[in-house]
Amino acid sequence: FDADGPQALVGLCLAQVCCSLDALCSRRTDGSMSLIWAPPFPQEMADQLLHMMATKGLLNDTTIGIFRNCKELRLRRASIRCSPVSAEAFHLALCPHRLQELDASWVSGSLSGANVISGLASNKECRSSLQKLSLNGLQLDWQAVVVDKGVRVGFSSLQGLRALNIANTDLTDSVLEDICTLPQLESLDISCSAISKLTALLECKNTLRSLTAHRLRQLDMSPAKLLFVLSQLHVLRHLDFSDDHFAVDDSDGRDGDETMQQLLEGSPHVLPSLVSLDISGRKRITEAAVRAFVEARSGLAFLGLLATGVSSCEVLSSQKNLKVRLTGEANEEQVCEALRRYRDRECFIREALIHLYNLTMDIDTPQPDMLKLVLRVMQSHPSSLHVHLVATACAFNLTTQDLAEAMPVSLLSSTVTQLLYTMKTFPNHQQVQKNCLLMLCSDYILQDVPFDKYLAATLVINWLSSHEDPTLQRMAVAVISILVAKVMTLLTYCALNVFIMKQLLAIVQQKAMVGVVDSTLKFALSALWNLTDEMPAAARNFIECQGLELYEEVLESYCTEPSIQQKLLGLLNNIAEVEEMQAHLMEEDLLEHILSLLQDSQVEVGVRYFAGGILAHLTSRPEAWTLDEELHTTILKQLHASIMTWTHMDREMVSYRSFRPFCPLLQTCQPSGVQLWAVWAMQLVCSQNMSHYSSMLEKEGVTELLKALAAHPDTHSDIKGLSESILSMAEQHQSHSGASNNHAGS
């Protein structure tokens, strides 16, 4: 979502390979896949294919088998992150490669850290070639490690290792001792492990440049001993000694806080190469200590101070020459830096999002980079309610009103897709659902941004079915009413769903009982109108759900509200189009009321138009008329007289998916009032949008019906004139389109 431009060709090709694995592969006897034929891949492309399979959730014991062929698919930088891969599949597919990097973080199969080390060590080339290894989130299971010819295989067997991540593992002090004997170790992450001593670090004091030791809850060293060990790391440039401030009570973390306080206040000769220090989450750090540290270190490039209470320290803003990147909560830059740096740390992401929400409450300029950060942290923490609760609120703040229209469409599309995932993941959390609905309830997003609209509507409908919160109800109905008009399969689904019909009718009844005119009522009426458009099954559901009785009452009670009347009559017009439903409308009081609307010159043309449509359809079939003949005659007479007084409307009042319901009304045998309503309606929409209706006229046989009407000697002159007008517009449009096409091809 970084740009609206096309994807790189190599990415598209690899994505196609991922989609076509079944067709491209044969199966070995153990069920694993093998490419039937493949040219030797460029080495970087093989790495990309493995990474793409992992990120798309396609990598498993079966599919990883294609990498057993080391000649065609040579791996150097391998990632199987978060994939369900067993120890056996790992050994067969990855260990034969001369790997330089391996990311096996959070693998969900039976693979342990011990399996990884013994497997890699079994390849003599890997012992020296592997430089970077991540086992974040893996069980090391060190007791199960394989012994090679009587010698226990450990991390130290991988002599080429420079960077090692064993955060969130069952790391022990003895294993750390083995790790620290690595001769080239430069970067080490032991965060969230069970380490109690850091004394082993003295073994690599001349090589270690980066130490990440976030949240070492079982560390058992006095501040003096801990500071002594750290002070011996002469070449250390990056130190992360942050802590999880949510999980720390008054007794926890005190020694670590005191150590960092002493480090800040101490001499710059301690850790002289240090340019990056992260102490976020340390509660007992003072502004004086931060000031002393910053003033003593001119080469400082980064300082992590989120959730310390000192990120607004005056020295950080007063020194003009200070070029230090900061994480904290004092301003947007600090908060965004926190979202970038702490993407995988839920405790800090939650904190940063809370501050971002407050900072974006009244934002008035588009911030796509901020939205990208919010989206990324949601993707990084798919099951965290805390993260999604605040992140969805931030997403709404960043896309409210006109801000969305200034965002890249691809970014909005990715964000909405993520919101739908969030709604699906937390279906019963009211505030999360509300936040998602707030962002979705945007005309621009619903109309112009591509996303799975069917999924969106079904999620919203499910929410609507089990909650009665008025605010959420309003937004849910608004979203449904717009989406059902855009997606035909969704329209069909909703039209056939009696439950949805009942829900929408219940909202109409609820609003009508108190006589309010609000957007919820209008959206509900619009949704019902859309659902019954050329949907006989929906019309039947509407009748069976007592919708007709309700609409008769609402039509009377909202007699001064043309916007409501128009939507009510529009739905009744849909029912009048269905021959088998017409009998339900044969009520004298109802038709006399509709006739009074047709005749009243004070009533808006939009209302009179739909009133005329109902009456035209009902009087077009004399054999089905069951009421007084005098009423039938009066309606036909008033139809013609009233329509001739209507003024042309510039605004688009209605649009049609098809002209098929008009065909019976255009027959030469029909009364003039019926014919006149049909040709007036068609002339109106065609004059407003002929490009939409031109092909419809021809395909549905309407052109021939209009020609027959215009040529018939008994056709009223008013109808002839309108028929000829429509035919003329259609002819002009076709000749203009033909001329444009000829010009384009010349």
List the one residue out of 476, 479, 394 whose CA is nearest residue 445.
Answer: 479
3-state secondary structure 416-466: HHHHHHHHHHCCCCHHHHHHHHHHHCCHHHHHHCCCCHHHHHHHHHHHHHH
Instruction: Give the contacts of 133 (CB within 8 A, at least 6 positions apart).
Output: 101, 102, 104, 116, 120, 158, 161, 163, 164, 165
Which helix H or strand E contains 721, and what residues bound it?
Answer: helix 717-745
Point out the least confidently predicted range of 225-234, 496-505, 521-530, 550-559.
Answer: 496-505
- Residue 252: the pLDDT is 62
What would the two tokens of residue 619 be? 């009087």
pLDDT of 150: 56
**Any idea what DSSP says for residue 329?**
S
| 239 compared with 142, residue with greater pLDDT | 239
Mean pLDDT estimate for the chain: 91
Among candidate residues 239, 711, 216, the one with its CA nearest the CA of residue 703:
711
739: pLDDT strictly greater than 90: no
Please determine, for residue 673, whether its predicted confidence score (pLDDT) is greater than 70.
yes
> What residue ranges do the domains of the chain occupy?
8-111, 331-426
Q: State the Cα–Cα distance between residues 508 and 500, nearest whole angstrom.
A: 13
Say if residue 619's pLDDT is above 50: yes
Q: What is the mean pLDDT of residues 266-281?
A: 94
CB 477 within 8 A of CB 468: no
State residue 3's pLDDT score: 47
Instruction: Assign 151 a pLDDT band (cuts: 50, 70, 90).
Output: low
| pLDDT average, residue stretch 37-42 | 87
Give residue-wise pLDDT tens across range 324-354: 899 999 999 999 999 999 999 999 999 999 9
pLDDT, tens digit, for every residue of 348-403? 999 999 999 999 999 999 999 999 999 999 999 999 999 999 999 999 999 997 89
Q: How confident is the model at residue 135 (pLDDT cuts 50, 70, 90)?
A: very high
Looking at the DSSP assignment, which residues form a beta bridge with residue 302?
A: 276, 325
Between CA 419 and CA 388 the distance in angstroms is 9
Answer whether 440's CB lies under 8 Å from 399's CB. no
Whole-number Cα distances in Å, 672 to 145, 249, 487, 666, 667: 93, 85, 37, 10, 10
**DSSP notation for 673-713:** HHHHHHHHHHHHHHHH-HHHHHHHHHHTTHHHHHHHHHH-T
How much of the chain exceeds pLDDT 90, in percent?
A: 74
Contact 193, 167 (CB under 8 A): yes
**Average pLDDT of the segment spanning 232-255:** 82
Tens digits of residue pLDDT in 444-500 = 898 889 999 888 988 887 787 777 777 777 788 888 878 876 766 666 766 667 877
